[in-house]
Amino acid sequence: MKLTRIEKRVMTSPQHTKQAVNRAKKLLHFASLEGKENFLEVGCGSGAVSKYVASNYDANITAIDLDPELIELAQKSVHDMPNIHFLAADATHLPFLDKGFDVVLSFGVMHHISNWLDALKEIHRVLKPEGWFVYADIVYPRLVAKIARSFKHSYGVTTTHDLNLFVEDNNFSSIHTSLSKSLLWNWCEAVYRRN
């Protein structure tokens, strides 16, 4: 789902991009990245996280977003970074070969994808065995999810239970997880390793 004009403004704000980069720094610390050369960021927005990774790790970064305007914005600031490529693509139909990436990053994207499970399956498909999936997003308490799913909308509604089932069914090891709870939704941060 493409973001609304207001969502784009918030997402490209300096405060939001700083939060995203800080989250990436914190979570990447839990992954063993030595020798990991190919990174994919799903839902890169303005590209702040990808630019951080490209500047701080010896890696090639491919970053996708559904919105061509955000991809164009991201590309404008990386003319001197040959190890990063931005591409307009759908997270539920990734245009990449199986097992092509050592690390996949996804920050605050899945709740914008109504068929978020298809996106997670695609992430699993393109991630190499022993690869790292670094994730942060909204997850809903079961009662809130049940109510939200009864409305027709284009947002993804997932619970911690749904995410845990996906991790278990797809043979990921949970290296780090944290959950910040609120009344209507929770914020989940996790680092998984594909077995």
Range of the domain at 136: 5-89+96-194
* Number of domains making up the chain: 1
Q: Give the pLDDT band (50/70/90) at residue 2.
A: low
pLDDT of residue 1: 60
pLDDT of residue 16: 85
pTM (two decimals)? 0.93
Mean of the pLDDT values across residues 152-178? 91
Please tell me which residue, 146 or 84, carries the higher pLDDT value: 84
pLDDT of residue 51: 96
Question: In this predicted model, what pLDDT tens digit does every residue of 87-143 receive, in sequence order?
Answer: 999 999 999 999 999 999 999 999 989 899 999 999 999 999 999 999 999 999 988
Assign residue 22 the CATH number of its domain.
3.40.50.150
Cα dihedral 81/191/104/153 (nearest 10): -110
Please answer whether residues 61 and 50 qualify as being in contact, where contact means their C-beta atoms are separated by less than 8 angstroms.
yes
